[in-house]
Chains A and B, each alone.
Chain A
Amino acid sequence: MNLNQLTARQLQKKLDAKEIKPQEIISSLKQRLAESEEKVRAYVSGADFSSIPDEGLPVAIKDNICTKGLNTQCCSKILKDFKPPYDATVIKKIKEAGLSVQSAKTNMDEFAFGSSTENSFFGATHNPWDIERVPGGSSGGSAAAVAADEAIWALGSDTGGSIRQPASFCGVVGLKPTYGRVSRYGLIAFASSLDQIGPITKDVADSAWLAKIISGHDIQDATAVDIPVPDYTKALVKDVKGIKIGVPEEYFVEGLDEEVKEHILQAIELLKKLGATVKKVKLPHTQYALPVYYIIATAEASSNLARFDGVEYGFRTDSKGQSLIDMYEETRGEGFGSEAKRRIILGTYVLSHGYYEAYYLRAQKVRTLIKNDFDAVFKEFDCILTPTSPTPAFKIGEKAANPLNMYLSDIYTIPANLAGIPAISLPCGLTKKRLPVGLQILTKAFDEETLFRIAYTYEQNTSWHLEKPKL
């Protein structure tokens, strides 16, 4: 195997044993990029791959996480060539841990608005398993880069499934930590009450390692909770005896692909065999998660994106309008893509006078009910097991014309963001067309250890994570 195909832990062992030099990892990545990047397009176009640093294990970074002096554009025209004057907290932590940050950022849906990475100003990313298909989104670039061995590991962000759904589509491991576990300082906000940064990796052990590095309290983020971070790598225990798993009925309904369902049921059977107990549970407010999400997320997004106005930084229209309003309208009209505009309009609408109570306030109340559903289940169960996405990767262009259809792709991942709980997606099968299927595990808030333990046990008893796309 080439070095670029190994996991971060495997590479670190070789580095520690002085079997290899960091530069060899870099050359191996560069070689791979030369072979496959033209097909995959995991990185923001025009990125210069020669600038991968020479020391420390490199981490690929999603284009919405601020890296000092390096392009951070959220794959939007409106932030074209924006170079933040500061590093996000996670970037600082990565550097402090002796890892290095890749200068080329990974592709994403503009401002993380999407489930397919088709909404990027720089063009779509292709799924390494089938380049006619989407890699999922919005962290599709990070997931595709890891799946195609164009990156050792990567950071993504997850607001409604943006780490887990692409991880599922690309056959890699994606973790959305508990809300407040990882600092959001330097993550360009989509929906502040839902956003979390998390790792996208080749296996569960790498996920635990990178999660441990990026987690923790931050005085620059009032929502980053001051709770000690356990050593997640110690949670990598191959044992699920006595673990109580709940399987929610509401997730196995119409719209769930038969092959996906089959693989999830097999995964459940395996865990049973390994000593876990499995029971059906109810999350009765699941059906409201999608509408609630699209009210809260768009409301916050409409406000978060207001700052992109051409005044201070980023793109400004060339047109010489008459007034300040002209400059705002033309800059934003030209700078935002259509999905961004759709969400800004929707979010502005739900916050408007006379609609606030009916939409935003009510959505917040239902959000509490959804959270209560999970709290009730976790009183009895250690985790919840579901498919990550109702289908495997779909074709590029297939859902682009129908936003609602696209939104349904995140129907199983959104509830975790609304409830603020951690969730992981890991490979649990390949369809007949050799498309990866993802298994989602959810636990109560700040119980990432149980999440890693169950995921690790499943992974170590299967070989899905070792499958590679034939690019």
Chain B
Amino acid sequence: MSYECVIGLEVHAQLNTRTKAFCGCAVEFGKEPNSLTCPVCLGLPGSLPVLNQTAFEYAVKVALALGCQVQKNTKFDRKNYFYPDLPKNYQISQYDLPLSLKGSLEIESADKMKKIGITRVHLEEDAGKLIHLDDASLVDYNRAGTPLLEIVSEPDISSPLEAYDYLTVLKAILQYLGVSDCDMEKGTLRCDANISLRKTGVKTLGAKVELKNMNSFKAVKDALEYEIGRQTDLLSENKGIIQETRLWDAKKLATFSMRTKEEASDYRYFPEPDLPLFTIEDSLIEKIKGSLPELPREKSARFVKEYGLTEREVKLVIQDKDLADYFEACCKLYPKAKIINNWLIGAVSAEMNSRKLEIATLRLSAASLIELIKLVEDGSVSNLVAKDVLKEMLDSGKPAVSIIKEKGLAQISDTSQLEKIAGDVIKENGRSVQDFLAGKENALMFLVGQVMRKSGGKANPKVVQEILRGRLKNV
């Protein structure tokens, strides 16, 4: 029996506005606990919320970028539940008149384009943070009242990989709009997933399980994969799936039941009487539409057209707006887009990953990278050595030229030096020489590799190959 899965994602993105959603307190990380608070975000008696216009406009921006219909009339509602991180014991959210409905997001997954429906995008406020000690729990309200965007997808996602790709594209869009930092580890982007399984071909939905507590895109994918396995096992044993909320445990790599449907809260939503229903003027929507930046799909199309690259080639660079901007800055200095792109998705990305830095924080100017690339292209330094030079540039901040000079890393194209090494290699590797002469072209590559090794990677492989061919012809 085969099963297919039906997945819907609920993403919460913190908006990076200067101030909170309903008061004037600053939105900042890492400040002294409870220092960014006022009577409003502390929920003190008598205080009242007033909507942050910028947060609202950011929300509309995202809604428009996701092709949603921005609603003429919208309102806020109270979601009532008791928890110490929620100062008023209700969250100001949007229930039946969210600010936008019915959008979609196009993703490329396993080489196929797919449209994932967006059910709604709405604005709400974030809660504070609890810090649990052995004998007490503390609460920090600095985060309380931070504007939060809830983006709910339709159950159109049909694999954990698609979920991963959806999140990647969504994150790119939010970053392009400049409205959120989208850092899952910091919690500025959060994702819950709903998943159900059904027999292939069946139209009705199975029992839905909500997954929480995933703190990276990979964790979302892992949790969904785990859940598919767990549910498939249950179904094959003819056991039912319980509708429940489960938490992902990143250490045990498994999900655990948090609460069942029977234990689910009744949030008693009702219209927030402190914030009147309001009308979104067409002129505001037009103004925001006009201010939308180039979005990933448009940028990708432009890169393909302007730089002669394929969509697949630019995919990685496009996902990161800063990297895409960096790519363009590099192309202005040195018009070889393909080479630059290879560097960015290769060596530069590797450095960003290993150092856990972004292109902006890597401290590598476009000019210094181009200087390095040019040295490779004109044969001054080998591709292999250049990667080490890049490391050194990032470690020391020195320019490529001086590193190459200081460490004697310049590529050896001088034939007399290389002739000598090639001679030695031929002497020492009689077997490979025989193989080559017997017609095995691969054996030559082995010999080239040996020369490279002896030269400490500095030999120019093209020159080495020529020399070897010449010598072996005369054997």
Question: Could you tell me which A residues sit within 8 Å of B by CB distance?
Answer: 64-66, 72, 74, 79, 82, 84-86, 88, 184-189, 191-193, 219-223, 299-300, 302-303, 306-309, 311-313, 324, 328, 348, 351-353, 356, 360
Could you mark each residue 267-278 of chain B with 1 if its beta carbon is under 8 Å from any beta carbon of chain A, else 0? 011100111100
For the complex, is B299 an interface residue (Cβ under 8 Å from A)?
no
Decide if B45 touches A185 in the complex (CB within 8 Å). Answer: no
Given A221, A303, A360, which contacts B48 in the complex, CB threshold below 8 Å? Answer: A221
Could you mark each residue 75-113 of chain B with 1 if its beta carbon is under 8 Å from any beta carbon of chain A, else 0? 000101010100111100000000000000000000000
Given A223, A308, A360, which contacts B274 in the complex, CB threshold below 8 Å? Answer: A223
Given A188, A303, A352, which contacts B266 in the complex, CB threshold below 8 Å? Answer: A352
Decide if A352 touches B44 in the complex (CB within 8 Å). Answer: no
Decide if A303 touches B78 in the complex (CB within 8 Å). Answer: yes
For the complex, is B384 an interface residue (Cβ under 8 Å from A)?
no
Decide: A219 near B50, CB < 8 A? Known: A348-B268, A351-B268: yes
Decide if A79 touches B44 in the complex (CB within 8 Å). Answer: no
Count residues of B near A (Cβ-Cβ below 8 Å).
28
Interface of B is mostly: loop
For the complex, is B51 an interface residue (Cβ under 8 Å from A)?
yes
Chain A residue at smallest Cβ distance from B265:
A353
Decide if B82 touches A192 in the complex (CB within 8 Å). Answer: no
Decide if B39 touches A84 in the complex (CB within 8 Å). Answer: yes
For the complex, is B47 an interface residue (Cβ under 8 Å from A)?
yes
Given A192, A219, A303, which contacts B80 in the complex, CB threshold below 8 Å? Answer: A303
Given A64, A88, A192, A312, which contacts B273 in the complex, CB threshold below 8 Å? Answer: A192
A85 to B37, CA, bound (A): 12
For the complex, is B30 an interface residue (Cβ under 8 Å from A)?
no
A139 to B45, CA, bound (A): 18
A191 to B49, CA, bound (A): 15
Chain A hits for B87, CB < 8 A: 307, 312
For the complex, is B46 an interface residue (Cβ under 8 Å from A)?
yes
Decide if A85 touches B270 in the complex (CB within 8 Å). Answer: no
Decide if A312 touches B50 in the complex (CB within 8 Å). Answer: no
Given A221, A299, A311, A351, which contacts B50 in the complex, CB threshold below 8 Å? Answer: A221
For the complex, is B224 an interface residue (Cβ under 8 Å from A)?
no
Could you mark each residue 25-56 of chain B with 1 if its beta carbon is under 8 Å from any beta carbon of chain A, else 0? 00000000000000100111111111100000
Q: How many A-B residue pairs have CB under 8 A?
A: 98
For the complex, is B184 an interface residue (Cβ under 8 Å from A)?
no
Q: How far is the CB of A266 from chain B (nearest CB, A)?
A: 39
Chain B hits for A72, CB < 8 A: 45-46
Decide if A306 touches B89 in the complex (CB within 8 Å). Answer: yes
Identify the interface centre among A191, A309, A311: most chain B CB within 10 Å of its CB. A311
Decide if A306 touches B45 in the complex (CB within 8 Å). Answer: no
Decide if B45 touches A188 in the complex (CB within 8 Å). Answer: yes
* Known A300-B273, A351-B80; further 10 A-B contacts with Cβ < 8 A: A65-B46, A66-B46, A188-B46, A221-B48, A309-B82, A312-B42, A351-B268, A352-B266, A356-B268, A356-B270
Chain B hits for A219, CB < 8 A: 50
Decide: A360 near B84, CB < 8 A? Known: A79-B45, A185-B48: no
For the complex, is B348 an interface residue (Cβ under 8 Å from A)?
no
Name the interface residues of B335-375: CB closer than 8 Å to any CB of A. none
Task: Provide a sorted-by-A list of 21 A–B residue pairs whose CB atoms are within 8 angstroms.
Answer: A65-B46, A84-B45, A84-B46, A187-B46, A192-B274, A193-B273, A219-B50, A220-B50, A221-B50, A221-B274, A222-B49, A222-B50, A223-B48, A223-B273, A223-B274, A303-B78, A303-B268, A307-B45, A328-B82, A351-B268, A351-B270
Q: How far is the CB of A308 from chain B (nearest CB, A)?
A: 8
Chain B residue at smallest Cβ distance from A184:
B48
A35 to B50, CA, bound (A): 46
Chain A hits for B44, CB < 8 A: 84-86, 312-313
